[in-house]
Amino acid sequence: MKQQGETGGRTRNGWEALARERIDRSSFVPPYYQLAQIIERHVRSGDFGPGDMLPPEAELARMFGISRMTVRKSIEKLAQLGLVTASQGRGTFVNQPPLEHATFSLREFAEDMQARGLRPSCRLLEAKVMRAPAEVASKLNLDPGRRVLFVRRLLYADDEPMVYDRKYLRYDRGQPILEAELEYMNLPAVMARHSDVLPSDSRFVVRVARCSHEEAALLGVEPDSPAFQVEQFVHSADGSLVGWGILVYRGDRYYFTSLPRLLR
Amino acid sequence: MKQQGETGGRTRNGWEALARERIDRSSFVPPYYQLAQIIERHVRSGDFGPGDMLPPEAELARMFGISRMTVRKSIEKLAQLGLVTASQGRGTFVNQPPLEHATFSLREFAEDMQARGLRPSCRLLEAKVMRAPAEVASKLNLDPGRRVLFVRRLLYADDEPMVYDRKYLRYDRGQPILEAELEYMNLPAVMARHSDVLPSDSRFVVRVARCSHEEAALLGVEPDSPAFQVEQFVHSADGSLVGWGILVYRGDRYYFTSLPRLLR
DNA sequence: AAGTGGTCTAGACCACCCT
DNA sequence: GGGTGGTCTAGACCACTTT
């Protein structure tokens, strides 16, 4: 098993370099976090290269005068970052820098806009109880003709339309629809009032698509202009589908940014 | 502090329901994972509703006859799922079901295609050392006219073009370019050979855009058809930009799927 | 002051991998 | 068989929040 190597003229001196580091017991930063930072620095600087094995947990505990459980907490952070991979019975190994990997997040609209420094607002275009279209009934596993709650909203950023949101939700209880609850659209609360099943999880598919005339008119963009088309599937705890929707995000204003890989 | 409540006619009886559960010490599933599953079930079923406090860690340890460290490991998993949030000094609280939240991942192309059941392949269109265009030189913080490595590739899925990849990379060493290394395009290895700085991280921005004529011709789609345009920024450990690229993903074939929120 | 989560310890045994 | 990571224990002290 290769433990240390050399590439491209760069020397790797992981153990020696690590051995010179110390945990500052007087710091407010807890030891597990200090150790994670120390190892991260030595990995990113190349003292440990891709494929190299880190010193065993017991050895790190000895080197830094901390317990093994504390060492494990450090390494777990680094593993979450994708920097190293622990392998039972073998050791903990440095990964290739994940240059072709990244994660993105889709966030609740208002929160998302606030994070981007824009002021979110919302206009309820329509909310009605209707007989489920055949396509929707089959998706939601309802008898054809069963009633569903249909909601259309336009979501604004700094008073400009950004997202066109259409959703079909299970409607089992005959409760009257309150405009107020749909403006803010706390989806779990809405479904708790109108549906017999508790929503538990959403899955999404993001595609690109050309705006229809309707979508373009509402969003204030040219017909056929490209946009993010986000399909939403709301599931209950037992896995059945209890809501389905399409969100169209303006392609000329909206974008996704990969999440920073930080030590948390 | 509200600890238990009632909503929409559903009763919440978290503590009593939890108290009836047991850890199976003969199971191969470790206790921390069993407890995480137990709590997840009672949260998703509504025994604990949004805002409710879970029993304190010490109480859970007592209830299930396990140590507090083990309880903490269970709760940490649930916190990673976004199901609960622990708050020092206050307690651990159930979140709203994250119906409007999701995460996506951008993966290395071959890995991505394999996961989708497609056979990845690659064609190197061009690889050359060139004077950095002004725009690129300023991005990579190079003197104007410095040489950079420019690579154009077409990435195929089941022998159909899927992604058009163009990248500019730092080129400091004058090493000859080997076609083979660019076919597989292990980016860290390529940069280790040709650059003096170690790449450490990538950041991405995903936009929608219409294909240019060049892009459309290479991808085999109509000009102006919508596509995912992924901008890549490759950083070194010290934060400086050492690579920049644009990847165009076919809009008619490619899509992103949100990651399942699973207990790992 | 009491209750909560956050961190740490110094052990222990186990499952797994390699030789 | 020896070395590795995975899990667990039974405590301890601390930081923070609420009463």
Give residue-wise pLDDT tens across range B72-114.
999 999 999 999 999 999 999 999 999 999 999 999 999 999 9
8 Å CB contact between A240 and A141: yes
Q: How far is CA A158 from CA A114, A137, A257, B119, in A?
A: 10, 36, 20, 44
What is the CATH superfamily name and number for domain A103-259?
Answer: Chorismate lyase-like (3.40.1410.10)
CA–C1' distance B22–C10 (Å)?
29
Reported confidence tier of residue B11, pLDDT bands at 50, 70, 90: low
Mean pLDDT of A137-153: 90
Question: A170-199: per-residue pLDDT in tens?
Answer: 998 888 888 888 877 889 889 988 999 999
Question: B144-180: per-residue pLDDT in tens?
Answer: 888 999 999 999 999 999 999 999 999 988 888 888 8
Question: How many residues can be counted in chain A?
Answer: 264
Q: Which CATH number fits domain B4-99: 1.10.10.10, 2.60.120.10, 1.20.1530.20, 2.30.130.60?
A: 1.10.10.10
A127 or B178, greater pLDDT: A127
Closest to B49 measured CA to CA, from B96, B86, B17, B89:
B96
Determine the Cα–Cα distance for residues A241 and A139; give it in Å rounded to an integer: 7
Check pLDDT > 60 for residue B6.
no
Closest to B221 measured CA to CA, from B148, B160, B166, B167:
B160
The pLDDT value given to residue B4: 57
The pLDDT value given to residue B256: 98
CA–C1' distance B238–D12 (Å)?
40
Domain residue spans of chain A: 4-99, 103-259
Question: B184-230: per-residue pLDDT in tens?
Answer: 788 988 998 899 999 999 999 999 999 999 999 999 999 999 999 99
Question: B24-67: per-residue pLDDT in tens?
Answer: 999 999 999 999 999 999 999 999 999 999 999 999 999 999 99
Radius of gyration over every alpha carbon of chain B, rounded to an integer in angstroms: 26
Reported confidence tier of residue A10, pLDDT bands at 50, 70, 90: low
A111 or A12, greater pLDDT: A111
The pLDDT value given to residue A143: 86
The whole model's pTM is what? 0.92
Determine the Cα–Cα distance for residues A90 and A86; give it in Å rounded to an integer: 8
Residues having Cβ less than 7 A from any atom in strand D: A 54, 56-59, 68-69, 72, 86-92; B 1, 30-33, 65-70, 73, 87-90
Q: How far is CA A240 from CA A234, B90, B263, in A?
A: 8, 35, 19
Determine the Cα–Cα distance for residues A259 and B81; give it in Å rounded to an integer: 17
Determine the Cα–Cα distance for residues B262 and A30; give it in Å rounded to an integer: 29
Mean pLDDT of A105-131: 95
CA B73 to chain centre: 23
Mean pLDDT of A75-86: 97
The pLDDT value given to residue B1: 45
Least Cα separation, residue B44 to chain A (angstroms): 6
Copy the structure tokens of residue B185.
């395009």
Reported confidence tier of residue A256, pLDDT bands at 50, 70, 90: very high
Cβ separation B103–A106 shorter than 8 A? yes
Q: Annotate A144-172 with b (16+ C-beta within 10 A) or e (fewer).
A: eeeebbbbbbbbbbeeebbbbbbbbbbbb
Say whether B103-259 and B4-99 share the same fold.
no
Instruction: Identify any residues that bridge with A170 across adjacent strands, giving them in sequence order.
Output: A148
Determine the Cα–Cα distance for residues B72 and B90; give it in Å rounded to an integer: 15
Chain B residue nearest residue A209, CA to CA: B226
Determine the Cα–Cα distance for residues A28 and A120; give it in Å rounded to an integer: 38
Reported confidence tier of residue B8, pLDDT bands at 50, 70, 90: very low
